[in-house]
Amino acid sequence: MLQNSAKTVARRAGLARLVASAARGTRSISVTSPALAAEVLSGTNLAKRIRSTAADAITVKQNEVPGFKPSLVIIQVGSRPDSSAYVRMKLKASKESNIHCEVIRLAEDVSERELLNHIEKLNDDTNVHGVLIQLPLPKHIDEVKITNSVVSAKDVDGFDRYNTGELAKRGGQPLFLPCTPHGCMKLLEESGVELSGKHAVVIGRSDIVGTPVAAMLRNADCTVTIVHSRSTNIPEIVRGADIVVAAVGRPNFVKGEWIKPGAVVIDVGINYVADSTKKSGQRLVGDVEYETAKEKASFITPVPGGVGPMTIAMLVENVKLAAERQLQKESQLARITPLPLKLLDPVPSDIAISRAQTPRHITDIAEELGIKDSELEPYGHYKAKVSLDVFKRLEHRRENGYYVLVAGITPTPLGEGKSTTTMGIVQALGAHLGLPAIANVRQPSMGPTFGVKGGAAGGGYAQVIPMDEFNMHLTGDIHAIGAANNLLAAAIDTRMFHEATQGDKALYKRLVPVKKGKRSFSPSMLKRLSKLGIQETNPDSLSEEEAAKFARLDINPDTITVKRVLDVNDRFVRGVTIGEAPTEKGFTRKTGFDITVASELMAILALSSDLHDLRNRVGTMVIGSNHQGVPITTEDVGCAGAITALLKDAIKPNLMQTLEGTPVFVHAGPFANISIGASSVIADKVALKLAGRPVGSDARKGFVVTEAGFDFTMGGERFFNIKCRASGLKPDVTVLVATVRALKLHGGAPDVKPGQSLPEEYLQENVELVRAGCANLAKQIANAKTYGSPVVVAINQFSTDTAEEIEAIRQEALKAGALDAVPTNHWAQGGIGAENLAHAVVKAAASNESTTPQFLYDLDQTVEQKLTTIAQKMYGADGIELSDLAKEQVKRYESQGFGNLPICIAKTQYSLSHDPKLKNVPSGFTVPIREVKISAGAGYLYALAAAIMTIPGLPTHAGFMNVEVDEKGDIEGLF
């Protein structure tokens, strides 16, 4: 600390005269020594003050943000005494400054690769703000490579190539200044010396001190000279310096006679010299001969107690700064840079539009969303998987964004554009209204893509791109589901075969074999033992009765619910006989195939909250019952762990983008007929945090827009009653997509069929047909409002629609209780064509203060009561009729303890009823339930109404007939 005394005043007066002379161009001035005897620049006192200020600032921030805790990790290789001493000082200073600090100590002979592995883990750890490599490192390790491996945002030493490069540039902006040079500059600042225009000499050119301090002095407008071991006439050069920074590492190298009267001396050196008067036999000195230099200098730093404490103080300041930056970055709302659209008229094909747009690199979109590099796994340039660590990081730091559900009225076979509307809303919100907005959609099955339905990327100028990658393979999640499902199917049949061909002892012996002289139960086996009430965990200690009870699942083949799957619309495997090969010894069984997205594993993927939850759900899947009526699970079969292993990557949501560069999460693809028909709970939770705002902030929240398969009566009903029960989330607003075409159909116009020309009624104005069909729209609005969700109707326009027809829909929607009804033309105009709809969604979401989901039925009702409630309240039916088989299944599930699960009905999407011929709002019908099946792992039951199928077939002219690959390798013909 500088002393405020008469002597100090005199010194400063002398220095002032020196500075004034220098300003007039005089390089040196002769003044008497007493007036210029050096004042000590105490780094100890200044450092203490800096650390205290940092500690106070951290405490204040922690009061504002309880989770704020700056954290430093020091990696020390070997056990050099000097390094250990420095590490102890850094630990002590960190603790005093309210910074969490830990040390990773590695052996002297640690490999470079192992050291890099530690650094990479710390780079990825969001709880670590600063990473410091204690130098020097052993000779077998490349210091430059190691220091450059620390990510720039955590390089609190300021040594990596980005920070050093930016420091070296004129006007550069390093994230961190290197600690020792920064400490030197702080000491110069404390001296009060005006640096601009001064001549500074830096002795030493190391990357740690000499070179960076020279750059910092140059940036302060000093004229800088660097001298080093090969420089000639060093004393003469130093004599011309107004500021001397000695960092050469040689004791007492700089002599007092070299120092210009009134110069400021910063001594960075730390050297030990022999001293018999000291107990240790040595004492610490700097690079400057202190006793002679202090008689010439105006200010001088002591050794020890000068630059050393400042180095640690600047480290503390850098760690605090790193933590504040990370907090600020995590507090920023997502800001997406949109892609411009070049709209053409007439609108080209979907694949042509997709191909014409150059997507943004997915890493750029992830960065703007606030996803860290360590949380992203790119698959090529335009798609990536996102780690669930994002949600863990933001769970308690962010409020959720607004949650928007897109559903529809009862559609025509041509579809009414829910996916297109979903993309249009998000493009409008994100690219035109400047709000954080993310679309969450299902991954499409390749079955419909190559069949008659086509892809599910949206269409026109409101779609996911690249649409060919979206519709085919993506990142392989559906293939993983297929492999896992078929493993389970094979395990079930194999287990039945082995039980039928072996006695109890042989079966048990083979199930629990001796390996390396020891027998042990697998984790799944231990769970089965617990389920059976067998406490013994030593395989050799079970009684014969216990061993037989454990080994024999005794599956009743007639109760097996698991079929094999494939992602193709193959009608010829709906029913098959397996076991026909002679090696199966006559053990045949009739079964069949489902489409992959109908697998219960797909529903589990969609409804799980994390990997642990997925593992538990997989284990509780009921694959059938034994002959005594006891349910048999995947855990009993012993392959729950293997299935989870196959799905460990599939559980991560996929990130893509719209045509206008706004983000899209694509995850899970549960079959809309028999399952929830929506994207995953995980994707919704991750997206809601990314689109949300920091806890306690009053910033505008962003939006997550997702969709429900088919019309609201099917997709919306199970979205609320099944998905919202699993997630605990509730949509803030429901958007119902309606078209003139569909309402004309419900108003009495002739049927429309894919591949055939539209009847004249759809091409000419007919307001009466539209108004008559609006009864279906009114019913869907009423259905949505049952769950407490405000409704906005999106009138998806077609070129043949007239203003009078659109206005009729708007009037009828408002009369039925919708908050708004907005014409939208995103198919032809992209986000700009959905701006009015986006404004309506924003207004509706902000008006809904209720966040508690409302459900249609109570879980403690009987299965039949729940089915009746759905049929009556959602469909308008008189009731239901259970077949004998369905009655038997319901009785079994209720006796097994599954009666309290939610339930959905698999039926046609083309009518509110079970009969596709019954249009508009039919009445006086009864819904026939032919079967009731269980998805215990997914957590619901589902009933099959009428003749619904779980694997579609291909039409005469299928979509695959149009698909080709051109000479460039681009896919053509998708629609």
Question: Domain segments of the chain: what residues?
Answer: 350-475+651-847, 478-647, 863-944
Q: How far is CA 763 from CA 64, 346, 358, in A?
A: 62, 18, 35
Compare 956 and 710 and report the one with higher pLDDT: 710
**3-state SS track over 709-752:** CCCHHHHHHHHHHHHHHHHCCCCCEEEEEECHHHHHHHHCCCCC
Parallel, antiparallel, or unpaired for β 437-441 and 703-707? Answer: parallel
Q: Binning pLDDT at 50, 70 and 90, where does residue 731 land?
A: very high
Summarised one tens digit per residue, pLDDT across range 341-399 is 999 999 998 889 998 999 999 999 999 999 999 899 999 999 999 999 999 999 988 99
Q: Number of C-alpha atoms within 13 angstroms, CB side, residue 609?
A: 12
The pLDDT value given to residue 457: 82
Say what the pLDDT of residue 705 is.
98
pLDDT digits (tens, 9 = 90+) for 831-864: 999 999 999 999 999 988 777 778 999 999 999 9
Is residue 657 flagged as an active site residue?
no
Single out the catalytic residue among 157, 242, 636, 820: 157
Q: Which residues pair with 594 in a beta bridge?
A: 565
Report pTM.
Answer: 0.86
Fold of 478-647: Domain 2, N(10)-formyltetrahydrofolate synthetase (3.30.1510)
Instruction: Please say if the pLDDT value at position 29 is more than 50.
Output: no
Between the two ends of the chain, the Cα-to-Cα distance in Å is 76
Question: Which residue is catalytic, options 61, 76, 134, 493?
Answer: 134
Percent of the chain whose pLDDT exceeds 90: 81
Closest CA to 466 of 329, 358, 574: 358
Q: Return phi, psi of residue 67, to 5°.
A: -85, 0
Q: Please give the share of the chain, as a percent, with pLDDT higher than 70.
A: 94
| C-alpha span between 532 and 774 (Å, rounded) | 57
The CA–CA distances, whole Å, from 747 to 407, 781, 815 equal 20, 17, 17
User: In terms of DSSP bridges, do strands 462-465 and 879-882 run parallel, antiparallel, or are they unpaired?
Assistant: unpaired
- Alpha helices by DSSP H, listed for 340-474, are 350-356, 362-369, 389-394, 418-427, 446-449, 467-471
CB atoms within 10 A of CB 610: 14
CATH number of the structural domain 863-944 = 3.10.410.10
Q: Which residues contact 799 (CB under 8 A, 6 or more apart)?
A: 828
Spatial distance between the Cα atoms of 568 and 952, rounded to a whole number of angstroms = 8
- The neighbour count for residue 352, using CB atoms within 10 Å, is 11
Please work out, in degrees rounded to the nearest 5, the angle formed at the alpha carbon of residue 337 by the alpha carbons of 331 and 342: 160
What's the pLDDT band for 959 if we cut at 50, 70, 90?
A: low
Residue predicted with more confidence, 2 or 917: 917
* pLDDT in the model for residue 452: 62
Q: Which candidate, 768, 713, 759, places its Cα nearest to that of 922?
A: 713
Residues near 64 by beta carbon (within 8 Å), at least 6 away in sequence: none
Q: What confidence score (pLDDT) does residue 951 get?
A: 75
Contacts of 434 (CB under 8 A, 6+ apart): none
Q: Would you state the pLDDT for residue 708?
A: 95
Tokens of 947: 């003749």
Report pLDDT for 970: 76
- Could you tell me which residues come within 8 angstroms of residue 864 by beta carbon, excluding any fewer than 6 positions away? 880, 882, 890
User: Over the stretch 548-583, which tens digit does the pLDDT of each residue have?
Assistant: 999 999 999 999 999 999 998 888 999 999 999 999
Domains 350-475+651-847 and 863-944 share a fold: no
Higher pLDDT, residue 961 or 599: 599
Selected catalytic residue, list 61, 90, 723, 744: 90
Residue 31 backbone dihedrals phi, psi, to 5 degrees = -135, 160
Provide the pLDDT for residue 30.
32
pLDDT of residue 749: 95
- Measuring CA to CA, which residue among 598, 488, 97 is closest to residue 318? 97
Q: Are 190 and 179 in contact, with CB atoms under 8 Å apart?
A: no
Going by pLDDT thresholds of 50, 70 and 90, the confidence category of residue 650 is very high
Task: Count other C-beta atoms under 10 Å from residue 774's C-beta.
Answer: 24
Using 50, 70 and 90 to split pLDDT, how confident is the model at 25?
very low
Interval 816-825: pLDDT, tens = 999 999 999 9
Q: Check whether 438 has a pLDDT greater than 90.
A: yes
Cβ atoms of residues 717 and 744 within 8 Å: no
Q: Which of 919, 13, 853, 861 is closest to 409 using CA atoms? A: 919
d(CA 858, CA 869) in angstroms, rounded, equals 10
- Residue 382, pLDDT score: 97
Q: Catalytic residue at 134?
A: yes
- Give the length of the chain: 975
Q: For all residues of the chain together, what is the average pLDDT?
A: 91
Let me know: does 952 contact 909? Beta carbons within 8 Å.
no
Domain at 350-475+651-847, CATH from 3.40.1000.10, 3.40.50.300, 3.40.1160.10, 3.30.2020.30 = 3.40.50.300
| Residue among 154, 50, 63 nearest 97 (CA) | 50
Please say if 157 is a catalytic residue.
yes
Lowest mean pLDDT among 401-405, 768-772, 955-959: 955-959
Q: Quick check: helix, strand or coil at residue 423?
A: helix
pLDDT at 455: 63
Mean pLDDT of 447-475: 82
The predicted structure's pLDDT at residue 27: 32
